[in-house]
Amino acid sequence: MRATFRPFRHLRSANKYREYTISNGLSGRQHFGVYGIRKSSHFWINKNGGFAYSMLHYSDIWRCQRPSYVISSALHTDAAAVADGEILRGGPLVEYERRIANGELVDGDICQLGTLKELQRLYDELVEKADVCKLDRYMTSEKAGRSRWLWSRFIPQSSYSPVKGLYLYGGVGTGKTMLMDLFFDQLPSNWRKKRIHFHDFMLNVHSRLQKHKGVSDPLEVVAGEIADESILLCLDEFMVTDVADALILNRLFKHLFSNGCILVSTSNRAPDNLYEGGLQRDLFLPFIATLKERCVVHEIGSSVDYRKMTSVQQGFYFIGKDLSSFLKQKFHELIGEERPVPQVVEVVMGRTLHVPLGANGCAYFPFEELCDRPLGAADYFGLFKKFHTLALDGVPVFGLSNRTAAYRFVTLVDVMYENRARLLCTAEGSPMELFEKIMTIADAQQMSPRTSSRSRKSDVSDLCVDNELGFAKDRTISRLTEMNSKEYLEQHAAMLVDKPRWR
């Protein structure tokens, strides 16, 4: 989407936005904004928050229903310079300012300003060098896959992009995905671009590798295919936990980068901390060097988790034991008059997943059948292509004894969140309590020593010190909190209206 700056006189100062009159808006599937506390009939700015143009009222919380894009008042200076020069531009930064000029947004979290500027810099550079980067899909006539691979056997080719990508990392709920999506949505529609979750991307890579088994270097063929389809790759939630992924990432991305690919990615981990403590990590380290060479690394410094600022405890998260009958009752209420029956879901490469009970877009699973079996992201993605709601019975407190199940549960929540799926579950504790025994090495080192050996033994008997899981748990807690909010459930309902594929 192209946008122009309004004259600077339309940009009011940040101080004039300390109060904002509330207006109701329509619900839709958008990324969550941030929130402020209700005061009389006005919306008072949360100093750590951002703002949007359409709000709903829940108890003592006013919620931004449309996308909330944060911006610093310092940005108005840049806006003035551009407006005075009558420069016509597009991109995420311009879209922010357009909405501010129209009174749709006001300034917010200054911590995200640096990220916004980095995304605008990348956008401008891509627009300027679009021809050199071969972004226009209609101007590219190179053959893909094996034909390119065969030709390269005779004439070795390498075409690195003149534009470096961007690797965004920071704490959970700080707006990384929202900012990347805003960037992606402003890109021209005729560009070779793709926005995909990292789990889904790697599943696609492994599926392609299966099809090219007979080739001497199938990774090179797969990279050629991906590059022909999408020169600009936007990967959300870059997280490496699988040794099979770790061992191929360096060669895969070396081929992608040599084919001119540009990577924009979000992650909770700094590049140097990826796959920390993983098996054969020494073979993974060259990928970190490749990543830092081809991407600008930028940290989002905000410490605010906006997901936890929703009106929580409005969903279907039930705490306690022996609640199976209660959960099944809720499950039957959701499916209505349809009769639930066992079903089979096609996953990938001929695999299938058996669903104990399913009807009307809702699936029912005991926790053990979904997270204590050898299942992974591929199975979960397949499940939520057919079902929009999961009833999960008996989520336990995680520790050393069920660490593998904890990893699968983290992946399950990631896939559900990516698909905007609804969760009904019974659990032994709150999201925070489920992961109390999971910690990083640094957390474990900070534990105070006990004076009693008996108390020490009881406290740490099932303690799980796992860096990757210790970092991932914060994201999972944050997402579970948001998934049980009124706001998330409203967006889920709106998604069913917009995409009635389950009806």
pLDDT single digits (tens) 353-370:
999 999 999 999 999 999
Residue 460 has what DSSP assignment?
H
Q: For residues 201 and 256, give the distance between their C-alpha atoms in angstroms, rounded to a whole number.
A: 13
Greater pLDDT, 186 or 78: 186
Tokens 């009558």 correspond to 86
pLDDT tens digits, 361-414? 999 999 999 999 999 999 999 999 999 999 999 999 999 999 999 999 999 999
The pLDDT, as a whole number, for residue 104 is: 60
User: Please, what's the b/e burial string for 437-462 (b: 16 or more CB within 10 A of its CB; e: otherwise)?
Assistant: bbbbeeeeeeeeeeeeeeeeeeebee
What does DSSP say about strands 352-359 and 19-21: parallel, antiparallel, or unpaired?
unpaired
- Range with the poorest average pLDDT among 24-33, 193-202, 238-247: 24-33
pLDDT tens digits, 462-500? 899 888 888 889 889 988 988 988 888 888 888 888 765
CB 209 within 8 Å of CB 218: yes
Q: For residues 269 and 81, give the distance between their C-alpha atoms in angstroms, rounded to a whole number.
A: 36
What's the chain's Rg over C-alpha atoms?
Answer: 24
Highest-scoring range by mean pLDDT, 44-48, 121-125, 150-154: 121-125
Residue 317 sits at the vertex; the CA angle it makes with 326 and 500, to the nearest 5 degrees, is 90
Q: For residues 404 and 203, give the distance between their C-alpha atoms in angstroms, rounded to a whole number.
A: 20
Greater pLDDT, 467 or 258: 258
Instruction: Please report which confidence band the pLDDT of residue 73 belongs to, taking 50, 70 and 90 as the band edges.
Output: very low
Q: Is 406 exposed, middle or buried (0-12, 13-18, 19+ CB in 10 A)?
A: buried
CB 115 within 8 Å of CB 300: yes
Residue 218 C-beta-side C-alpha neighbours within 13 Å: 12
State pTM to two decimals: 0.60
The pLDDT, as a whole number, for residue 385 is: 92
Mean pLDDT, the chain, integer: 76
- Enumerate residues 6+ apart whose C-beta is below 8 A from 400: 437, 462, 463, 464
Q: What is the DSSP string of 161-214?
A: -SS-EEEEEESTTSSHHHHHHHHHHTS-TTB-EEEEEHHHHHHHHHHHHHHTTT
Instruction: Please report which confidence band the pLDDT of residue 72 belongs to, taking 50, 70 and 90 as the band edges.
Output: very low
Q: Is the pLDDT of residue 12 over 60?
A: no
Q: What mean pLDDT is predicted for residues 153-179?
A: 79
pLDDT tens digits, 280-299? 899 999 999 999 999 999 99
Percent of the chain with pLDDT over 90: 43
**Which domains, and CATH codes, for the chain?**
8-108 (no CATH), 113-300 (3.40.50.300), 310-498 (no CATH)
Nearest alpha-carbon partner for 165 in 305, 285, 261: 261
Q: What is the DSSP string of 116-132?
A: HHHHHHHHHHHHHTHHH
Residue 231 has what DSSP assignment?
S
